[in-house]
């Protein structure tokens, strides 16, 4: 299903480099592929705890990312091939 498009998509909140590396590492340890982990780690609008809770409950990382992706931006690129 296509996502509604916004005339003014919002850029993700900036994540400091040290936090980006930490978030990416946490996501990789939770089962995310490195590319997806890096992309999600850099998006300050995605709640890391919500993402990890979905993964802990058995949701595949790419699907958890798709569920939590903000509606005013495209889906994470790493999930495009899986959709």
Choose between 51 and 76: higher pLDDT: 51
Q: Indicate whether 11 pLDDT > 90.
A: no
**Rounded CA gap, 7 and 11, in Å?**
13
Q: What are the C-alpha distances in Å from 70 to residues 29, 40, 44? A: 23, 11, 11
Confidence of residue 5 (pLDDT cuts 50, 70, 90): low
pTM: 0.71
Handedness of CA 51, 55, 59, 65 (dihedral sign): positive
Structure token pair of residue 24: 């990416």
Residue 66 near residue 75, CB atoms below 8 Å:
yes
């Amino acid at each position: 299903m296509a996502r509604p498009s916004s005339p003014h998509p919002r850029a993700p909140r900036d994540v400091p480099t040290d936090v980006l590396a930490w978030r990416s590492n946490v996501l990789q340890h939770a089962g995310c592929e490195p590319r997806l982990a890096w992309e999600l780690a850099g998006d300050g609008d995605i709640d890391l705890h919500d993402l990890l809770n979905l993964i802990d409950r058995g949701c595949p990382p790419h699907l958890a990312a798709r569920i939590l992706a903000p509606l005013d931006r495209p889906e994470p690129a790493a999930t495009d091939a899986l959709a």
